[in-house]
Amino acid sequence: MLPNFPFQRSTAKCTSYIHTANERRLGEVIGTNVAGKLHTGRSRNDQIATDMRMWLRDELDLIEEHLVDLLKVIAQRAKQDIDYIMPSYTHLQRAQPVRWSHWLLSYATAFQSDLERLRFTKKNINKLPLGSGAVAGNAFGIDRMQMAKELGFEGLIMNSMSAVGDRDFVVEVLQCASTIGSHLSRWSEDLIIYSTLEFSYIKLADAYTTGSSLMPQKKNSDSLELLRGKSGRIFGAMTGLMMSIKGIPSTYNKDLQESVQPMLDTVKTLKDGLQIAARLLATATIYPDKMRAALSPDMLATDLAEYLVRKGKLVLYIRSFITSLLLISAQVYHSVRRTTWRARWSHLPKMRIKGWTNSLSSSFKVLTRGLATTC
């Protein structure tokens, strides 16, 4: 194993590339006759590609750990909060009653798919380009399989031109990160909505919120908003890199240097985001009473229709009747929920009551005709 030695400031100043600095400093420690052989059969082109793959391999291990931690927190909360019932939403309108755990696990399913893609991406990255030289390989009979084994790679990139000119592995990481970022963004958006006073299903811990500089009553979900916003940064990095490399000729070109900055930034952004998401959810407070209060009888329309189907009833004709009945019951429910039935009913406008009656009567006639036709 090579000794651990610090770089001298003078060495760093007169060296343009880290690989040359490595060789020069190694020569100062063990002698130039040996250190000079370090570059044998190698080029900056294949060395840089190797460095990037090794760095990404380690960083993807950390991202995988953070993603697994988030999945564990989701599973723990889903088990802990299994009895909480809330409205589900389609088109952001209340649809059917579901468990809060069902909503949590819907995102667990998405993150599980992300985890599988991440592991597949990591496997693709773990192939060694070293030994490809600048573009046409090397003439020294270097045992590349032995190098791959010592550096922890699972295979070789056999074509030297592809090895030095390929940044698809970076694009693949950014695409995988973009999908994770998209799911984090949608998850954050849901929680932002659920944490508003209009919903009040969830309350974030103070560590993940901020106040207003002017309005003392405000508690802003800044952490979720930043998670949502950072996803756009990840998308931009992916798109920018693809635009940079789409038109370059084969093998190595200096344009490929533009792959480093978006790679570094995206990895850091994603690692931070996953850790924040896990801690935010673990410390959040849920209000099941608020969730239950948002439920109403009309949300059981589908359940009632399916019950009648299972009983062998004629659903085509009873559907409009059931819908009208439930909508009317919901309107009455919302009209009287804040006071007593008798006091509120006496103040309902007669035209509204007449409209409900006419709607129900019309639907009942349709139902009667349908039954008479089919019986």
Given 113, 212, 361, 362, which residue is catalytic?
Answer: 212
91 catalytically annotated: yes
H/E/C letters for each residue in the chain?
CCCCCCCCHHHHHCCCCHHHHHHHHHHHHHCHHHHHHHHCCCCHHHHHHHHHHHHHHHHHHHHHHHHHHHHHHHHHHHHHCCCCEEEEEECCEEEEEEEHHHHHHHHHHHHHHHHHHHHHHHHHHCEECCCCCCCCCCCCCCCHHHHHHHHCCCEECCCHHHHHHCCHHHHHHHHHHHHHHHHHHHHHHHHHHHCCCCCCCEECCHHHCECCCCCCCCCECHHHHHHHHHHHHHHHHHHHHHHHHCCCCCCCCHHHHHHHHHHHHHHHHHHHHHHHHHHHHHHCEECHHHHHHCCCHHHHHHHHHHHHHHCCCCHHHHHHHHHHHHHHHHHHHHHHCCCCHHHHHCCCCHHHHHHHHHHHHHHHHHHHHHHHHHC
Q: Among the options 91, 213, 346, 347, which is catalytic?
A: 91
Q: Which residues are catalytic?
A: 91, 212
